[in-house]
Amino acid sequence: MAGKSSVKSALASRHPQILLIHSVDLESGAAVIVSQHMEDFRAFKEGEKAIEAIKEFQPKILLLELNSVKESIAFYVSLVKEHNLLTYPHQVVLLCGNKEAGLAYAVCAKGTFYDYFVSRPIYEKFRLKSILNNLTKMLDIQQEATTLNDSYINALDTDIDELIDEANSFQDSIQNSIKNCRTALVNTGTGGGEDVTEVLSPLISQIEDEVHKSLQAFIENLTKQKKSNQVHNKALKKSVTPECKFIKDIPMEDETALEAESDSPPSDALLEQAAEQQDEEAARLLAEQALLNEDILLGDEGAVESVEKPKPKKILVVEDNHIYRDMIKKILTGGGYEVVEAGNGMEAIKTSAKIKFDLILMDLFMPELDGLNATKQFRKRMGKKDLPILALTGNKNKDLVMKWVSSGINGYIMKPSSKEKIIEAVEEALSKKEMRAKKEGA
């Protein structure tokens, strides 16, 4: 009940800067997460009310959660083309199902939208909060920069206007002074001899023309500078707060970012991955549950005597959370290992094709290709049957241990773990690998 009340409170925001547009029959729980984290938020079902809300509130952040990525893109295109909306700086986040994560990634990689989030099912609610936090901070900085720029340009325009007024006033004063000089010469006369007036009059006219030309040129330069400032101001605003890139060359079919890569796995491998990810509920369980069976996985078997190695062991850390990945890398590097990083399973496969690793630490849930399917690729497609792969996980469910083991996982490291536990698990896995190699070579 607490979750529903918080959503209701958020939906009552009078001037929301964040709008979530979702399909009529779709309730993923994303609205609850956003409403608990952001005050200026409202959610609308797809339709005329949603379009009117966008027109009225002009949100800075738009979350699109329709039945498919294709529908979300089509809805956004209609807002821009048919309704002539969203013509101001804004950002869009795609909310999609796990099966369409690759397509959503491809759309965002083109720069069309800011980012995407897998909301069906929801794996990492903190990632959605992180996306919104980063967007909010970025937009606040852009707004502050725009405000400062406007203040500077306005002050500069005021100074230029004052200089133009002073120049005009000075020109009038000079002309009056010259006119008075002429009058004085005529009234005074010469008293005989050559008429001084006739001699000086052309010189005075020449001086008058030169002063007039100089002042006019000065005023014209100031006017040009003012126009230049206005052009610069518009260009600066566009660079500081860019409008969302217009839809162009967006993959509208069910293609994925993996298929777009020339060095991606064979098509039959992609089909196998797609088949294995059909059941979303199974994917959720695989992502949230981990390994805990000391009879099969790594246990406390005691320390293994260290063996001198001519070169440091190479370890591949596959983890989409860069903060945790950096922490693991720092620990392993401090332990004398050579560490290479990868942000998802597909990147790990590509990297391992170029570098020979002694061990892999694999996160279970990642975009593009998760840890389970990446492990299967290592075992089946790449022939790396003897390569130790340890799962990085945060849960302790025993029921799925055999399923993970059958997929090729050798052990696990809990999230979070101490430095000692991480090093101990890595050393034990490498030690077992060396022992197997010695037995086979005997």
Q: Where are the domains of the chain?
A: 2-140, 150-240, 261-441
The mean per-residue pLDDT over the stretch 426-432 comes to: 92
Joined together, the tokens standing for residue 126 give 């903190």
Across the range 288-316, mean pLDDT stands at 52
What is the reported pLDDT for 361? Answer: 95
> Which range among 21-25, 53-57, 114-118, 220-224 shows the weakest confidence by mean pLDDT?
220-224
What's the rounded mean pLDDT across residues 172-186? 72
Q: How confident is the model at residue 64 (pLDDT cuts 50, 70, 90)?
A: very high
Q: Which residue has the higher pLDDT, 104 or 282?
A: 104
Q: Which of 116-120, 207-211, 237-241, 382-386 has the lowest mean pLDDT?
A: 237-241
Cα gap 428→437, rounded to integer Å: 14
Average pLDDT, the chain: 74
Residue type, 132: L
Residue 342 has a CB neighbour count (10 Å cut-off) of: 24
Confidence of residue 400 (pLDDT cuts 50, 70, 90): low
Q: Which amino acid appears at position 115 of this protein? A: D
Taking 80 as the threshold, does the pLDDT of residue 255 lie above it?
no
Which fold does the domain 2-140 belong to in CATH?
A: Rossmann fold (3.40.50)
Q: How confident is the model at residue 7 (pLDDT cuts 50, 70, 90)?
A: very low
pLDDT over 70, % of the chain: 67
Residue labelled with tokens 């133009």: 164
Phi-psi region of 111 (alpha: psi -120 to 50; beta: other; left: phi over 0): left
Most confident listed range (151-160, 186-195, 402-411): 402-411
Of 295 and 362, the one with more pLDDT:
362
Percent of the chain with pLDDT over 90: 23
Q: Tell whether the model's pLDDT for residue 297 goes beyond 50.
A: no
The whole-angstrom separation of Cα 257 and Cα 236 is: 33
Q: Is the pLDDT of residue 142 over 90?
A: no
- Please write the tens of the pLDDT for every residue from 341-399: 999 988 998 898 899 999 999 988 888 788 888 888 888 777 777 889 998 877 666 66
Retrieve residue 91's tokens: 């950002």
Q: Does domain 261-441 have CATH number 3.40.50.2000?
A: no
What is the per-residue pLDDT for 251? 45
Domains 2-140 and 261-441 fall in the same CATH topology: yes
Q: Residue 321 has what pLDDT?
A: 87
CA–CA gap between residue 295 and residue 171 (Å, rounded): 98
Query: CA 64, CA 20: separation in Å to the nearest integer?
Result: 6
- The answer, yes or no, to whether residue 131 has pLDDT greater than 60, is yes
Model confidence band, residue 195 (pLDDT cutoffs 50, 70, 90): low
**Mean pLDDT over residues 227-250, rounded?**
52
Q: Where are the alpha helices (DSSP H) in 320-378?
A: 322-334, 345-354, 371-376
Give me the pLDDT at residue 340, please.
96
The span from the CA of 237 to the CA of 143, in Å, is 9
Cα separation of 429 and 424, whole Å? 9
pLDDT in tens, 8-40: 433 456 788 899 999 977 767 888 888 888 888
Residue 100 pLDDT greater than 50, yes or no: yes
Identify the top-confidence range among 74-83, 199-208, 433-442: 74-83
Mean pLDDT for 291-301 is 38
